Structure 1
């Protein structure tokens, strides 16, 4: 059943970057990329340092700040912007990569895709072109792919998908 209405709440990718789920380079299970707490509030690029932590194998790495860049569009490669590791919530479709930084980001994409009415602020309103949903690729926005995309999202949400990394077909 499709939800009737979606209104873009104007969140962008930075709003989902506090906890990015990635595939651990050591064990292949879910790891987290978060801002490094010891660098918070520091001047310059150091304030953008991030930490990779895997609760399964104990891997911990810190990436010095390279600036506040994030992936600019959802059609980009399915890697995190700090360690360039594969995102854990990703699936390769016949149209391209469907990916999300975390479950909150995936839920936003799901709500957008399943809505039959999609609304946003006027295009001349500052920043509307930079929201997470505005930057989704056209194939995700297309209603004709709705069923396929929702099926892929459901697969990403299945508990057993966290035992075997998705998108490595």
Structure 2
């Protein structure tokens, strides 16, 4: 597999399958999601959570929506808030499975593919933006400076390897 450039992908590219901590049993579970450009109907229809350890399962369509505002006729307008770029899954808000506490702060990933992109970014000695000089939405440009620092490279790579083996 060819390494992915962290400057060509975004966190939202990894939201179709998010490894999370089950809120019932604290074991590894899965959120089947959608990409960030999915329609409201796709989100309602496809997003679901399931835990293989305890059997807890829910569909996003069966959870309450948030009241955004009341229109001029006093009718409530409801919808969903996606929590992007945080150590929780965007749909249900469950903690992601891959959270790495470091002396500098928290490093997290939605799934193993996301973690591998971050790992590749840390390993790269020469980080090229593939012509995307001003793009600030990519993973590589959004990582904290301490993640990109060469003095933290070995330390972070050891922690990432440990996180990959966590079951």
Query: TM-score, structure 1 length as denominator?
Result: 0.74
Q: Who is 1:97 aligned against?
A: 106
Confirm or deny: 8 A CA contact 2:20 2:30 kept in the other structure.
Answer: yes
Q: Who is 2:80 aligned against?
A: 66
Structure 1, gaps ≥5 residues long? 163-169
* Alignment partner of 1:132 out of 118, 136, 139: 139
Structure 2, gaps ≥5 residues long? 62-78
Confirm or deny: 8 A CA contact 1:90 1:99 kept in the other structure.
Answer: yes
Secondary structure of 2:142's aligned partner: coil
Q: Who is 2:151 aligned against?
A: 144
Query: TM-score, structure 2 length as denominator?
Result: 0.75
**Alpha-carbon RMSD:** 2.3
Q: Who is 2:12 aligned against?
A: 14
Q: How many residues align?
A: 143
Confirm or deny: 8 A CA contact 1:6 1:115 kept in the other structure.
Answer: no
Structure ID, larger Rg: 2
Distance 2:154 2:116 in 1: 15
* Alignment partner of 1:113 out of 117, 122, 125: 122
Confirm or deny: 8 A CA contact 1:113 1:146 kept in the other structure.
Answer: yes
Confirm or deny: 8 A CA contact 1:8 1:119 kept in the other structure.
Answer: no
Distance 1:156 1:146 in 2: 15
Distance 1:14 1:144 in 2: 28
Secondary structure of 1:117's aligned partner: coil
| Residue 123 to residue 112, structure 1, CA distance change in 2 (3 Å) | same
